[in-house]
Amino acid sequence: MSGQGTTGEGKKVVVLDYGFGNVRSAERALVRTGAEVEITKDYDAAMAADGLLVPGVGAFAACMKGLREARGDWIIERRLAGGRPVLGICVGMQILFSRGIEHGVEAEGMGEWPGTVGPLKADADHAVPHMGWNTVTPAEGSRLFAGLDAGARYYFVHSYAVHDWELTDINPAMAAPVVTWAEHGAPFVAAVENGPLWATQFHPEKSGDAGARLLSNWAATL
C-alpha cells in the first residue's frame, strides 16, 4: 500500500449529525486526511462544505426517520443536484437505495439508486451479524480504492446489505457507476462510486491504514 498522505488539506467536510452514526470516529478519521471537519446538521454549513459525510448506525427505518426530521434528505438531494460530493457509510449507504426490509417491515429510502436492502444471505459458516474484517473486490477504475492492495481488509458491522445491483438504465453521456463487491455467505455491494455520490457498506473510519487511505482518496476528489 502506498503512503496515505494528507490529500484533504484545505478541504472543508461536514459530518451530518442526524442522530444515527459514529460522528466522532468519522471526524477523527477525516481530520487525519488534513481536512477541516465540522459535525453539524446545519443546512447552510452542509451545503457550503466541499464534502458531506453521511454516517449511519442502526435500523434502516429509524435512520430514514431521523434523516428526514433533520432535513438531511433534502440536503443530500440539493448537494447531488449541484454535483457536490457526498459519502455515505454503513446504513448511511443503505438509505441511498430505494427501500429497506428489516424483520418484515419495509421502509422507503432515498431512492438515489434502485435496489433493496435485505437480510444477509448467511449460512452455517457465516454468522450474522457480519462483524469484523473482510476483503473486497474493487471494480476496475475505482478511485476510492486507488493505491490499496487487493488483500486490504476493511471493518464491517451489519446484518443487512444490497445483494443485487439494479441500476441498468444508464445515461450513455454519463460514466457508469463503479460497484465494488464483498462476500459473506453470498456477494453483496460493498461500495459504490457514482458521480458525486460515493458510499461504503464497511466503516473506513474503523479500518486502520486501509480506511485512512480510502478517506484520503475521497478527500482528494473534493
Lookup result for grid cell 503512503:
3
Rounded to 5°, the CA angle 178-78-221 comes to: 45
* Residue 95 near residue 67 (C-beta atoms within 8 A): yes
pTM: 0.94
pLDDT tens for 10-49 read 999 999 999 998 899 999 999 999 999 999 999 999 999 9
Determine which one of 158, 163, 184, 203 is catalytic. Answer: 203
CA-based torsion, 95, 171, 148, 26: positive or negative? negative
Cα(167)–Cα(184) distance, integer angstroms:
22
Q: Which three cell numbers stand for residue 98?
A: 430505494
Q: How confident is the model at residue 113 (pLDDT cuts 50, 70, 90)?
A: very high
* CATH number for the domain running over 12-220: 3.40.50.880
Catalytic site includes residue 63 = no
Instruction: Count CA within 13 A, CB hemisphere, residue 180.
Output: 25
Query: Is 90 in the active site?
Result: yes
What is the rounded CA–CA span in Å between residue 106 and residue 173? 34
**Cβ neighbours, 10 Å, residue 80:** 19
- Average pLDDT (43-68) is 96
Instruction: Pick the catalytic residue from 27, 63, 90, 112.
Output: 90
Q: Catalytic residue at 203? A: yes
